[in-house]
Structure formats: C-alpha cells, structure tokens
Homo-oligomer: A and B are copies of this chain.
Amino acid sequence: MNDETQWLSPREQHSWRAFIRLNQKLTARLGSELQTQSKLSGPDFAILVALTDDSAGRLRFQELAKAIDFEQSRLSHQIARMIKRGLVAREECAEDGRGAFVTITDQGRETIEAAAPKHVAAVRRLVLDAIPPEDLDALGDIAARIIRHLDETAP
C-alpha cells in the first residue's frame, strides 16, 4: 500500500458518513419497532413476505435465498429458528431428495398479516414522511444504480 491514497474529499466524506449512519439508524429503528410491535425480526419479516408473495406460500430454499438475498447457511439457521416458533414449516421435496420446501404456516400467515400494516406505517412515518416523493424516486434510482454496479463488480 503506497501513500498516494485518494482520500475522500470533505464533501464526499460528509455524504458518505451520512449515508452509512442512516443505514445503521434505520435498520436499528425499524428492527426495534418490528420486534416490539409484532415480535418479528427483520429477517423473519423478509422471509414471511417472500413466502406470502408466492401463490403457494411455499418455496425451495434456493429460491427463497435468492429472493431475499440470503446465503444458504444463513437461511438454514434462520428457518430452523422460525420452525421452532411455528412460523414456517419444512416440507420434503419429492422430485429432489436433497432439497426441501419452506412453507408458511397458518400462524405465520396470521403473524405477517398483523405485522405488515404496522411495518408499512413505520416506514411511512420514519422515512417517507421526511422526504418529498421526487426525492424518494431519486433515492431509488441511485440505489438501483449502485446495486447494479455492485452486482457487476464481483458476484
């Protein structure tokens, strides 16, 4: 490592730190509201939403992992915990002896249906209410651009 590092300019640093800080605060805040209002963690919520999005409420581990961008192992642990709590169930796969489905249970469905409105309300109250729609669009566009860049840079 030489000493010609291109450090961040004050302006860059200011924006960058704000962005990082926002990520942290927001994840913490949304997670905490989810937890106290609905007894769900962020990952719990993401998984239940993904399962609900599927018409059968039932996905292979791979598909689910891809849908929410979880690593295989992380998902495996997460599902194991959720099974204990009765939110989802495991179902063997006839066509492929290795694989398995994750199914949402009735309890899981009730839970997510109760949680979703509260979560949306929190998102609105904490974020959307703070910025005008055109800023949200701008945010979304920039985020999408960076995501594409990340995916290209090293999958």
Contact = CB atoms under 8 A, between A and B. Distances in A.
A12 B3 CA distance: 44
A130 B143 contact: no
Given A6-B124, A118-B1, A120-B6, A142 B145 contact: no
B147 A21 contact: yes
A130 B146 contact: yes
Contact of A8 (B1, B69, B123, B125): B123
Nearest to A2: B117
Interface of A: 1, 3, 5-8, 11-12, 14-16, 18-19, 21-27, 29, 69, 114, 116-118, 120-121, 123-131, 133, 135-150, 153-154
